[in-house]
Structure 1
């Protein structure tokens, strides 16, 4: 089937809100090339489980497509229209399984040497869409906080080396009740700027007490989910002929109920957490990887005003099969190695924060938990500077804002 043959009833299998959204734009979708449309439908079919920022972006994209004339659509998508597809792809169920189509398309483009042409067309489309529907600026300045080094008593090597050129390094930080202070500050921001999924607390271990006004995701809270997922992965890889691509497809199709999630009213967050574990490499077994990937995805998808990420000690590296095994032995932790991971993870968090609208006005803080070291980055702080003055974490954030 080709896009021109689309009918509203073909979307009856979509979740309710996605179905309502897409059926209002069928006329526009009928004019799009098949090399492009399933990529869009892959986002549409997940509409019910997307964060508000993602929903607005998708709504704006569809509204723009609906506003284009036939000639404009031809101009916008000429690069995609030149992509040649196989009859197998054309006859696949790309309406109800757009994600699977996109996976098969990627492989097909590679084998037919059309990947570069597709990438060029995709970049051109993204640039034009960004020009007519620019990202919204946040209602308040964004704040990112990363806490690293939990469980490390001493560390002599310099920290924050990749961040020092961008902000001010402080060696006289008052560490008393530091985490509690930061969580209280984050909660206060959430109450001052109430935005759905706008204020996050991500913990790579067991979450500290926090105000429920925050959206919280923690490695410890997902222990049973991770165990269920590991069990399913073990069962799949033991099947004859199971390869990494087939396993990836199976993981992509997993839903919260498959792993023991599915609380009423938490559909969006549950789906987010499942994707963290099924799409992230190593998020099932390394708490530092989990924290960093969760932060990346929260920033990319939810675009929060506030994000506090706390890294915790991960287990020491072992053979992958051993880490995915059903062993009940207590994992040996590696606090020092985790500090090194988290130091780099903090840098990644800052980079991902810089990709969001309004980044030039954002503030960022990294604190070595329980110690006197921190680095603060913000529009009012001089870059590449150092200070040994005694200061609380709240003072650092005030200076960075």
Structure 2
């Protein structure tokens, strides 16, 4: 199958260099790769590395071995008639092929063959992309103080995993003091807390290597300042509250399109993917094209991400883990509003003034939600070879004198009877794990030895 793909730069070079091997794989696989290459300018670094490694792997395989590996996919394509499609645009070919596979009742068999093929390919790619000596990673999940934490149920899904560490919270009354103690005080002339400033300079980290994703604004507030230090701009930050105007603009634009009429679900999806709406100044710590496309996709593809703050945090974090694979990820869940009737959320609509329901917060329901959502984030990280056996997970709830820490290389509980640790000690532990210096605190030895 010869496709006509609009490729430029390195993506065009890759397609041209590996054109022969692309012509040998089944059309649905060929189209998938070209669609990814068309997104090249908006892909994160790890996504680009994967596409390079995939094409190089195909090129190294003996012809007979590759033909045998994809024989099942090719057979199902032929049964569905996908090999007779004449569409040359790879994205439209994907839609047409999927429609044929569904019509013939072959979509499940096709997905099974594709999954089986990549299950054989991915281990070889993982060994190349994620060597044993790859840098360590850190995932921190925080519950905001307004959440009605039930101590007897806190982090109950992690029973038997990690280490419960008692905390001495003296001198950390309130969210601001808690977060400043956890991440280290700003040094003179800096806008970033000590942990992030040290990681940015010592690791070093690129802007997409450290992420803050939160329901409210407390993490982002740590970086507000009047000086010209560049460390804040070396972080990626998403705040549901700060993006309120952007979310409203996106909702109105999509609703307007629906009201004017759409040809098909595929046409509407293509329109949504083409939108270029810029958040207001200050809404993002970093606002490059890659992140703007990521943000749009998170709000459009995530179920409820436009309407529920903690759902936004979970889905954005999962997608960041999968796509950007940051070395440091911090999530902060907050109190969500009580859920409204579904009718107020359909078709990207804004409720009429007469239909609006008073907004009330739900601290108890928020705790139930975030217990599940934080667990999902951990599960998705552990499925990812970038994080497997290389990650320290830290779970905290503001105002609660205990934390949970899980090392992915030692997941079972390994210590008990620990002395209470200060938040500065937690900061030193995280810094030690990453191999960067911080001025205060002593590492909690069972977590780093």
TM-score range, shorter chain: 0.7 to 0.9
Contact kept? 1:287, 1:312, Cα under 8 Å:
yes
Pairing 1:367–2:388 present: no
| Structure 2 counterparts to residues 57-206 of structure 1, below 5 A | 57-83=50-76, 84=78, 85-86=80-81, 90-95=85-90, 98=91, 100-134=92-126, 135-137=129-131, 139-152=134-147, 155=150, 157-174=152-169, 176=172, 177-183=177-183, 184=193, 185-196=195-206, 197-206=208-217
Q: How far does the alpha carbon of each residue in 1:220-263 deviate from its partner, in whole angstroms, 9 at most, with x for none?
A: 23222211221133234445688766644543x233x2466899
Q: How far does the alpha carbon of each residue in 1:127-149 deviate from its partner, in whole angstroms, 9 at most, with x for none?
A: 23224322413632111100013
Contact kept? 2:147, 2:334, Cα under 8 Å:
no
| Equivalent residue number for residue 254 of structure 1 | 274
Contact kept? 1:171, 1:388, Cα under 8 Å:
yes
CA distance, structure 1, for counterparts of residue 215 and residue 405 of structure 2 = 22
| Equivalent residue number for residue 393 of structure 1 | 423
> Which segment is superposed worse, 30-39 or 133-142?
133-142
Given candidates 221, 233, 236, the residue that maps to 1:208 is 221
Q: How far does the alpha carbon of each residue in 1:245-290 deviate from its partner, in whole angstroms, 9 at most, with x for none?
A: 6644543x233x2466899971111111111111111111111001
Change over 3 Å in CA distance of 1:393–1:346 after alignment to 2:
farther
Q: How far does the alpha carbon of each residue in 1:158-200 deviate from its partner, in whole angstroms, 9 at most, with x for none?
A: 2100113211223434271231233432443333212332221
| Equivalent residue number for residue 227 of structure 2 | none
CA distance, structure 1, for counterparts of residue 120 and residue 368 of structure 2 = 40
Q: CA deviation at 1:295?
A: 0.7
Contact kept? 1:173, 1:371, Cα under 8 Å:
no
CA distance, structure 2, for counterparts of residue 291 and residue 61 of structure 1 = 30
| Equivalent residue number for residue 186 of structure 2 | none
**What is the TM-score with the length of structure 1 in the denominator?**
0.85
> Which segment is superposed worse, 211-220 or 75-84?
211-220
CA distance, structure 2, for counterparts of residue 107 and residue 385 of structure 1 = 54
> Which segment is superposed worse, 271-280 or 134-143?
134-143
Pairing 1:377–2:406 present: yes
> Tell me, which stretches of 5 or more residues in structure 1 are unaligned?
none
Change over 3 Å in CA distance of 1:128–1:386 after alignment to 2:
same
CA distance, structure 1, for counterparts of residue 253 and residue 343 of structure 2 = 13
Change over 3 Å in CA distance of 1:199–1:265 after alignment to 2:
closer
Change over 3 Å in CA distance of 1:241–1:49 after alignment to 2:
closer
Counterpart secondary structure, 1:14:
coil
Contact kept? 1:276, 1:294, Cα under 8 Å:
yes
Given candidates 278, 281, 286, the residue that maps to 2:300 is 278
Contact kept? 1:150, 1:335, Cα under 8 Å:
no
CA distance, structure 2, for counterparts of residue 300 and residue 16 of structure 1 = 24
Q: CA deviation at 1:382?
A: 5.8
Change over 3 Å in CA distance of 1:298–1:67 after alignment to 2:
same
Counterpart secondary structure, 1:48:
helix
Contact kept? 2:381, 2:388, Cα under 8 Å:
yes
| Equivalent residue number for residue 34 of structure 2 | 41
Change over 3 Å in CA distance of 1:68–1:94 after alignment to 2:
farther
| Equivalent residue number for residue 218 of structure 1 | 239
| Equivalent residue number for residue 322 of structure 1 | 344
Two-structure CA RMSD over aligned residues (Å): 3.1
Given candidates 367, 380, 386, the residue that maps to 1:352 is 380
Q: State how many pairs are aligned.
A: 389
Change over 3 Å in CA distance of 1:236–1:349 after alignment to 2:
same
| Equivalent residue number for residue 22 of structure 2 | 29
> Which segment is superposed worse, 115-124 or 287-296?
115-124
Q: CA deviation at 1:376?
A: 1.1
Counterpart secondary structure, 1:220:
coil
> Tell me, which stretches of 5 or more residues in structure 2 are unaligned?
184-192, 224-230, 430-442
Q: CA deviation at 1:77?
A: 1.3
Contact kept? 1:174, 1:372, Cα under 8 Å:
yes
> Which segment is superposed worse, 258-267 or 101-110?
258-267
CA distance, structure 2, for counterparts of residue 89 and residue 209 of structure 1 = 58
Pairing 1:334–2:362 present: yes
Q: CA deviation at 1:380?
A: 6.1
Q: CA deviation at 1:76?
A: 2.2
